[in-house]
Amino acid sequence: MAVTRKTAGRGFGLPFSLVFGDRVAKGSERQVHRVVDEPDVLLKTMRRKYLSHIGPDADRSFLGWLRVQQAYALYRRELRAYANAMVRAAIRQELPPLAGLCGLVLTEKGLGQLVERISSADGGMALTLEELLATGPLAQDRLEALNHFVAALYDWHIPAYDLGPKNILWDEMAHRFVLVDGFGDRAVIPLKTWVRTLNNRRLDRAFAVLARKSGLEWQRRARQFSRAAPAA
């Protein structure tokens, strides 16, 4: 059920132009909603616990501004990583292995982030890798697509800290996997953004964790997945 459109409070007199639809996902930091009359995007907002300590004048003091920066640090990390990926995309003339980021908007739930909605062939929500694996072993073409996704994260130098199977979606129309969350360099000094070798080591560890969660086998030297060997 759609949330009724509201007008900004605190004397701004600025109407919000987006209408929240159903919530489709909720993570530890953000929640994700459909947007009414905008079928190609989703809207991510920070959960209330991250914003409850921010008052209307928080940006006018040094400590208050630090709290604001901390509350929205996730957006900033993702935007930096996405901007770097899109610079590479302009050179390579191909899409990075990430769902598109479509901008920041004001909402009654704080600053929101519009993101590309990855759809299934019938127009529904795309399946996560976790959901695909729950139906049985990956078909050979999807396993190959997963390994293409793995190679792309290394090749595109994508800093990723959470490669959980819920964050990887199957784009059925493009026949590829994309990362929709869990990317961006979380370090104060973003060494993994600057140094490819450090980022590759982080990806190695992240894919090893993904293998344990998904039941696949991670081939460390080849940097690819294979089906787990059947139990003896």
Complete DSSP assignment for 177-197 = EEE-SSBS--SSS-HHHH-HH
pTM (two decimals): 0.89
Structure tokens at 64: 């208050």
List, for residues 33-51, the tens digit of each pLDDT value.
Answer: 999 989 999 999 999 999 9
Q: Are strands 168-171 and 176-179 parallel, antiparallel or unpaired?
A: antiparallel
Handedness of CA 118, 124, 130, 134 (dihedral sign): negative
Count other C-beta atoms under 10 Å from residue 77's C-beta: 19
The position carrying tokens 């059925």 is 172
pLDDT of amino acid 5: 39
Structural domains of the chain ordered from first start: 20-116 (3.30.200.20), 129-226 (1.10.510)
Distance CA 160, CA 185 (A): 7
Torsion of CA 121, 21, 115, 178, to 10 degrees: -40
Distance CA 15, CA 2 (A): 17
Distance CA 62, CA 31 (A): 28
pLDDT of amino acid 18: 76
Cβ-contact 100, 87 below 8 angstroms: no
9 or 226, greater pLDDT: 226
Distance CA 169, CA 154 (A): 18
Q: Of 5-14, 19-28, 182-191, where does mean pLDDT reach its minimum? A: 5-14
Torsion of CA 119, 151, 200, 211, to 10 degrees: 70
Q: How confident is the model at residue 4 (pLDDT cuts 50, 70, 90)?
A: very low
pLDDT of amino acid 9: 33
Q: How confident is the model at residue 3 (pLDDT cuts 50, 70, 90)?
A: very low
pLDDT of amino acid 232: 53
pLDDT of amino acid 204: 97
pLDDT beyond 60 at 7: no
List, for residues 83-129, the tens digit of each pLDDT value.
Answer: 999 999 999 999 999 999 999 998 888 899 999 999 998 989 999 99
